[in-house]
A and B are shown apart, each in its own frame.
Chain A
């Protein structure tokens, strides 16, 4: 046994051993090859989109995007597709609309959910468990159940805000609430209870404890939820299509309409798709750490 266990440790000392990695584990060529192939397969579609979006109409229809991938010279590179889609389909406005939709819809639920999560974590009250069970249950329910009544309620026969940004902020705040509450409560449960206890002894009210202690300590969980919610709101088609006027349409709705009118040709479509994906990808790459944490805590617990 000791010989087996010692082998990696010996390797760690002699750094230049070719068949071992820096941390002393043996290098597995099968894994390297499999992972390179998989990573390549998984990135090729996105890469193909990026390449196609910069190629002229003639180039796209005469040679495949993969030829441009392997032989990047003389492939009819152009910025016309982006110019065409930004002006012709008004995607610049769509981009702004999506920001106007996404940012408030990401931040607003956190405020409400944080207070509730605090109560669920640090207070005892009758009905606490039943209320939390409701949240767990509601997380599973598809949002489709809410659409028809909400269309009536927010529409012209209700309070008449359907079509405006306010309507969609309200909807995303409501739909994001259960997950936000769940994520924050799970995180707050890991905070040391003694901190809250000692604040209470010092005479702080719950309101003060929340603002001064618990809210600042929960910022990582808030960031995790915010990343998740931002991507979800930005990428949403269903709610944006049903509850926003055409003048307020998001890039995702515009892309879907572009896709519907196939006559446009593939080159505008690819530019449009890339515009709709650029910001989420940037957010995703830079906030991946938070995003993963949000996923692991927010994913329906098994």
Chain B
């Protein structure tokens, strides 16, 4: 028992100090980052393993009934400690900061919200966000279904190759994808940008804000990246549709269009919703594409980027926090849906 408690304390203390030393005294590691990464991994994994071991020793020395009750919490605690520290505490603190001034030193009531709602830039960003939310998830799902259906009719090998190629952009970073599209496709120089080469023009596409053309062009980048993800999930769902149901519909005289809309779609509805929600969440979070290509100029700003600008460029913590709270409110319906759905599934 004593050994266990002592062990927990010593391991926790040692691990914490090793990690802090990595930050405070890089000289101890000869400023060698590879060595630091190795030490970090060994200390992290070894520390965690030993910590769980000593927790286990401590709890097992307790009376049987007590230990059986405590063990689950001991297993869950470290993970939840991290979630609490990194996600729950900051969320509450952010809501708190949104009522404070820009150094978070004094409460200013609703001033941040008032100043945001009075800012036309905010409404512009919100409108753009709405556009992204209407267009990107829907198009991604439609392309995903179409590709999955066509790929399903190819030979096994052809299907694999085609799917891998369409899936590949998923591995590319948002910054990398924006570089590719911004330079090789949308560049104003017709010798570099293929769009101008095809049309025989030399327009700087990223600056064209008539009818939000530049926003649409940036949405294309995200759709290019995410279609593969949609396709993979939807293709799995389509393959899981039992053949008998398709056969039965065809015998009853349904044409292919009816088979698709009345038989396949209802059976893959769950997956469609999954993909849709995942892309919606992504769209709300993504700021990289707009940041890299226009930095929000030419009427392209979005909420996530506006937050970044307030926080990073302007250093206005109050307004930045208020924007995040609005983002949080925007995802709340999805959050409630997810939790409800999860509970329903557990109940079954």
Which residues of chain A (82-98) have a CB below 8 Å from chain B? 96-97
Given A165-B33, A252-B173, A138 and B87 touching (CB < 8 A)? yes
Q: Is A16 an interface residue (CB 8 A)?
A: no
* A254 vs chain B, min Cβ distance (A): 10
Q: Is B111 an interface residue (CB 8 A)?
A: no
* A140 vs chain B, min Cβ distance (A): 5
In the complex, which range does the number of interface residues on chain A fall in? 35 or more
- How far apart are the CA atoms of A134 and B22 in the complex, in Å? 32
* Contacting pair A237 B175 (CB below 8 A): yes
Which residues of chain B (227-257) have a CB below 8 Å from chain A? 227-229, 232-233, 236, 247, 251
* Contacting pair B69 A125 (CB below 8 A): yes
Residues of chain B with a CB closer than 8 A to A238's CB: 287-288, 308
* Contacting pair B345 A301 (CB below 8 A): yes
**30 A–B contact pairs at CB < 8 A?**
A25-B153, A35-B154, A35-B162, A38-B162, A39-B161, A39-B165, A46-B169, A46-B180, A48-B184, A49-B180, A119-B75, A125-B72, A145-B324, A146-B90, A146-B91, A148-B311, A166-B40, A174-B87, A205-B56, A205-B60, A238-B308, A241-B312, A255-B176, A259-B175, A277-B171, A280-B173, A296-B233, A299-B278, A300-B274, A302-B270
B23, B41, B334: the one contacting A167 at CB < 8 Å is B23
* B116 vs chain A, min Cβ distance (A): 15
Q: Is A197 an interface residue (CB 8 A)?
A: no
* Contacting pair A104 B179 (CB below 8 A): no
Per-residue 0/1 for A36-68: is the Cβ within 8 Å of any B Cβ (1 yes, 0 no)? 101100110110110010000000111111100
Residues of chain A with a CB closer than 8 A to B346's CB: 129
* Contacting pair A120 B87 (CB below 8 A): no
* B125 vs chain A, min Cβ distance (A): 14
* Contacting pair A38 B166 (CB below 8 A): yes
* Contacting pair A52 B184 (CB below 8 A): yes
Q: Is B86 an interface residue (CB 8 A)?
A: yes
* Contacting pair B83 A99 (CB below 8 A): no
Per-residue 0/1 for B72-103: is the Cβ within 8 Å of any A Cβ (1 yes, 0 no)? 11011011101101111111011001000000
Question: Which 8 A-B pairs have CB atoms at the shortest separation, nearest pair first?
Answer: A174-B86, A302-B274, A235-B173, A284-B171, A116-B79, A119-B75, A161-B23, A302-B273
* Contacting pair B179 A23 (CB below 8 A): no
Given A147-B311, A280-B173, A292-B232, A141 and B320 touching (CB < 8 A)? no
- How far apart are the CA atoms of A34 and B53 in the complex, in Å? 57
Residues of chain A with a CB closer than 8 A to B178's CB: 259
Residues of chain A with a CB closer than 8 A to B272's CB: 302
* A234 vs chain B, min Cβ distance (A): 7
- How far apart are the CA atoms of A103 and B33 in the complex, in Å? 12
Q: Is A213 an interface residue (CB 8 A)?
A: no
Q: Is B192 an interface residue (CB 8 A)?
A: yes
* Contacting pair A266 B91 (CB below 8 A): no
Stretch in B6-14, B126-134, B259-267, B336-344 with 4+ CB within 8 Å of A? B336-344
Per-residue 0/1 for B40-55: is the Cβ within 8 Å of any A Cβ (1 yes, 0 no)? 1100110011001100
Q: Is B181 an interface residue (CB 8 A)?
A: yes
Which chain A residue has the least Cβ–Cβ distance from B285?
A: A142
Residues of chain B with a CB closer than 8 A to A164's CB: 22-23, 26
* Contacting pair B175 A135 (CB below 8 A): no
Given A165-B33, A300-B338, A148 and B90 touching (CB < 8 A)? yes
A118, A149, A241, A280: the one contacting B75 at CB < 8 Å is A118
* Contacting pair B170 A142 (CB below 8 A): no
* Contacting pair A100 B34 (CB below 8 A): yes
- How far apart are the CA atoms of A22 and B154 in the complex, in Å? 11
Which residues of chain A (149-182) have a CB below 8 Å from chain B? 149-153, 159-161, 164-167, 169-171, 173-175, 177-178, 181
* Contacting pair B87 A288 (CB below 8 A): no
* Contacting pair A42 B60 (CB below 8 A): no
Q: Is A231 an interface residue (CB 8 A)?
A: yes
A43, A107, A234: the one contacting B168 at CB < 8 Å is A43
- How far apart are the CA atoms of A288 and B342 in the complex, in Å? 28
- How far apart are the CA atoms of A171 and B87 in the complex, in Å? 10
* B187 vs chain A, min Cβ distance (A): 7
Q: Is A196 an interface residue (CB 8 A)?
A: no
A21, A113, A248: the one contacting B79 at CB < 8 Å is A113
* Contacting pair B90 A149 (CB below 8 A): yes
Residues of chain A with a CB closer than 8 A to B281's CB: 140, 142, 300
- How far apart are the CA atoms of A181 and B78 in the complex, in Å? 12
Residues of chain A with a CB closer than 8 A to B93's CB: 148-149
* A294 vs chain B, min Cβ distance (A): 11
* Contacting pair B171 A174 (CB below 8 A): no
Given A39-B161, A42-B168, A165-B36, A237 and B335 touching (CB < 8 A)? no
Q: Is A191 an interface residue (CB 8 A)?
A: no
Stretch in A70-78, A216-224, A268-276 with 4+ CB within 8 Å of B? A268-276
Residues of chain A with a CB closer than 8 A to B183's CB: 52, 266, 269-270
Given A129-B346, A149-B97, A140 and B168 touching (CB < 8 A)? no
* Contacting pair A45 B174 (CB below 8 A): no
B49, B83, B168: the one contacting A281 at CB < 8 Å is B168
Q: Is B218 an interface residue (CB 8 A)?
A: no
- How far apart are the CA atoms of A116 and B80 in the complex, in Å? 8
Q: Is B309 an interface residue (CB 8 A)?
A: no
Q: Is B222 an interface residue (CB 8 A)?
A: no
Q: Is B151 an interface residue (CB 8 A)?
A: yes
Q: Is B185 an interface residue (CB 8 A)?
A: yes
Q: Is A195 an interface residue (CB 8 A)?
A: no
Given A61-B192, A111-B45, A237-B174, A175 and B86 touching (CB < 8 A)? yes
- How far apart are the CA atoms of A242 and B315 in the complex, in Å? 12
Q: Is A79 an interface residue (CB 8 A)?
A: no
Which chain B residue has the least Cβ–Cβ distance from A180?
A: B79
Residues of chain B with a CB closer than 8 A to A235's CB: 172-176
- How far apart are the CA atoms of A23 and B156 in the complex, in Å? 9
Which residues of chain B (291-348) have a CB below 8 Å from chain A? 291-292, 304, 307-308, 311-312, 317, 320-321, 324, 327-328, 331, 334-335, 338-339, 341-343, 345-346
